[in-house]
Chain A
Amino acid sequence: MSKQAITLTVNGVQRQALVEPNQTLTSLLRDELGLTGTKHGCGVGDCGCCTVILDGETVNSCLVLAMQAQGREITTIEGLAKGTELHPLQQAFVEAGAIQCGFCTPGMILSAKALLDHTPQPTRAEITKGLSGNLCRCTGYEKIVEAVQDAAGKMSEA
């Protein structure tokens, strides 16, 4: 089967791409659209590095076919900052030292964003549950949880 044209909205901008039937959404974002903030990790839905927000819900983009993104709305890490102004979650991650190697960070921040979109003032338990699909091998998670708590506080003041 040959490539097919799809149309989707990525970070508020309508995009078109020619995709293979067996191409994943991760590959579409990285290889076709140049959005390399979405990381390719385990490839089987365990690590959460490739997390993006699809129609308001987080998904592992390694387990979504590019074809399935037809007509859908996607937010990647590139869609969070406004120009040079970081999103409060990004700023909080920097300030709390929640980023070490950084490979998990885009997925972690998108999971945190989806959590705060639904639960603006989460408890610690709600944060750890909300981030349970994202693995970090550096930080031990403490500073990530702190960063999400800080961002939730700042975002509610704003």
Chain B
Amino acid sequence: MLLPTFDYYRPAGLPEALSLLAEMGEDARPLAGGTDLLVNLKLKKAAPKALLDLGSLEELKGNRTDDGKVSLGALNTASRLASGGPEVPGLLSLGAGALGSPQVRNRATLGGNLVTARPAADICLPLLALGATAVLAGPQGEREVPLDGYFQGPGYTVKQPGEILTRVLVGAPRPGVGGGYQKLGLRQAMEIALVNVAVYLELEGDGETVALARVALGAVAPVPMLSPGAAQALQGTPAGEKIFTEAAEAAAADAKPIDDHRGSAAYRRDMVRTLTLRALRQALSQAQGSKEARS
């Protein structure tokens, strides 16, 4: 399968990339891992005149922890995130490790997954549950956009064509916090989830009361979505089976699945209930686990 004709640029830094993007407008597309963009070009779903390879942009690389926040570079590959490390939230590692195949994970990036913005994206769901914020750099400087509100539709976000997603900010992993990720597919690799659920759970000092919970649902709405009902049901209650069952019910009620060739809406709603329950148990066991437990 052949790629259409395009020009290739490899800007040396973010200012150069932004000015090239400003100059060429929508004729240019930023290229990170290429596991979505190059496929779309081959399938003639996109025909930019130029690709701007972000691979040399140091501003998009590495991870730093500062004041309880972790700043993750947009060029982190899914493999890098899946292999973890002290600064990577465990929940994000779970999602990143469920994406595609080893070859795809070695190229696919954090930033690419957020910009491609598919409703079942394996990196988007954990980040939404973690309450992450995207940093977008544009001609007028940087702005920070919470992911709750960032996704606009399948493949659409608030990112403007002249902007580049440079980093993602999340809370640093710490004890008393747990994450759960459950992905249902028809096979165990190279799969787009039929339904996926990411749960973030933060416990009070007593190790039991839920201080904060976020339940993110995938493939059951045009965008990765948070379940307000589940979060509300959980907050301030003692974590356990009773409240988890109620929260799972609330998540199923909040989901907005449709019938399609991959599964019926009714089945998906049932699976939201089941997967939410499993993800909550997983998150609780992580939050109550070792003192080293990570989100």
Contacts and interface: CB of A to CB of B under 8 A. Distances in A.
**Chain A interface, >50% SS class:** mixed
A111 interface: yes
Nearest to B33: A63
A21 interface: yes
B157 interface: no
Interface string B7-34: 1101000000000000000000001001
A89 B107 CA distance: 25
Interface in A101-117: 111, 114-115
Given A21-B6, A132-B188, A133-B100, A57 B43 contact: no
Given A21-B8, A44-B42, A65 B34 contact: yes
A44 B1 contact: yes
Interface string A1-36: 100100000000000000001111000000000000
A156 to B, nearest CB: 21
A129 B189 contact: yes
A44 B38 CA distance: 8
Nearest to B83: A118
A133 B103 contact: yes
A21 B7 contact: yes
A57 B79 contact: yes
B266 interface: no
Interface string A41-53: 0111110100100
A73 B6 CA distance: 25
Nearest to A57: B106
A136 interface: no
A67 B10 contact: yes
A149 interface: no
Interface in B85-132: 100-104, 106-107
Interface string A62-75: 11110110000000
Nearest to B34: A63
A137 B35 CA distance: 23
- Candidate in A21, A45, A62, A67 with the most chain B CB atoms within 10 angstroms: A45
Given A22-B3, A45-B35, A65 B101 contact: no
Contacts of A111: 102-103
A60 B1 contact: no
Contacts of A151: none
Residue from the set A1, A23, A115, A130 with the largest chain B CB neighbour count within 10 Å: A1
A144 interface: no
Contact of A130 (B1, B8, B100, B102): B102
A1 B4 CA distance: 13
A148 interface: no
A133 to B, nearest CB: 3
A76 interface: no
Nearest to A23: B3
A134 B189 CA distance: 10
Contact of B42 (A23, A43, A64): A43
A45 B104 contact: yes
12 contacts: A4-B8, A22-B4, A22-B6, A54-B106, A59-B103, A60-B103, A65-B51, A67-B10, A111-B103, A115-B102, A129-B189, A132-B188
Given A63-B35, A114-B102, 18 more contacts: A1-B6, A1-B7, A1-B8, A21-B7, A21-B8, A43-B1, A44-B1, A46-B190, A57-B106, A60-B107, A63-B107, A64-B34, A64-B107, A65-B31, A67-B8, A67-B10, A115-B102, A133-B100
Interface of B: 1-8, 10, 31, 34-35, 38-39, 42-43, 51, 53, 55, 79, 100-104, 106-107, 188-190
